[in-house]
Amino acid sequence: MYPQEPDGDRALARYEADHLAYMAGPFWEEGGVLLVLAGEDGRYLAAVRLYPGTGEGCWQMEALETRPGERRKGYGLRLLRQTQGWLERAGGGTLLSHVGRGNLASLRTHEAAGFCRAREGRAQPDGGPTSAQYTMVYRTRGAPDPL
């Protein structure tokens, strides 16, 4: 994310500071948003942001991330299952997640958590389509199909 910063530790520190600034302000100003965290011993391991989707009980997931150095340890899957548990306790619904076609680790993690590849591509903010992503869908029993 910071190609002008060749030092990996400094790039990560900069990313974390920028992310914290976004989370402390603009993210919460959107209203109705949720942040789901997985952690251990008071330390953040993975996170995902949830935005209200279209329709009752529909949530758009964004930025499923696992902290560098903690990847490939199952924290992303644990976080998805934690989010699904929250959705069940909240009365059910649907989770949507857009995953890059080349992001095989994320695709496998979503599928291990019960998400299905519902469609390829999605509309970009400017209205143009792309086939670079899959829309992954998880629905609780009885939830309507959001697509």
Residue pLDDT, tens place only, 62-75:
888 898 889 899 99
Helix (H) or strand (E) holding 86: helix 75-89
Stated pTM of the model: 0.78
Contact 35, 23 (CB under 8 A): yes
Q: Of all residues in the chain, what percent are helix, strand and coil, respectively (each to 5)?
A: 30, 35, 35
Give the mean model confidence (pLDDT) for residues 15-21: 80
Q: Domains in the chain, please, with CATH? A: 1-30 (no CATH), 33-139 (3.40.630.30)
Residues 29, 85: Cα–Cα separation, whole Å: 25
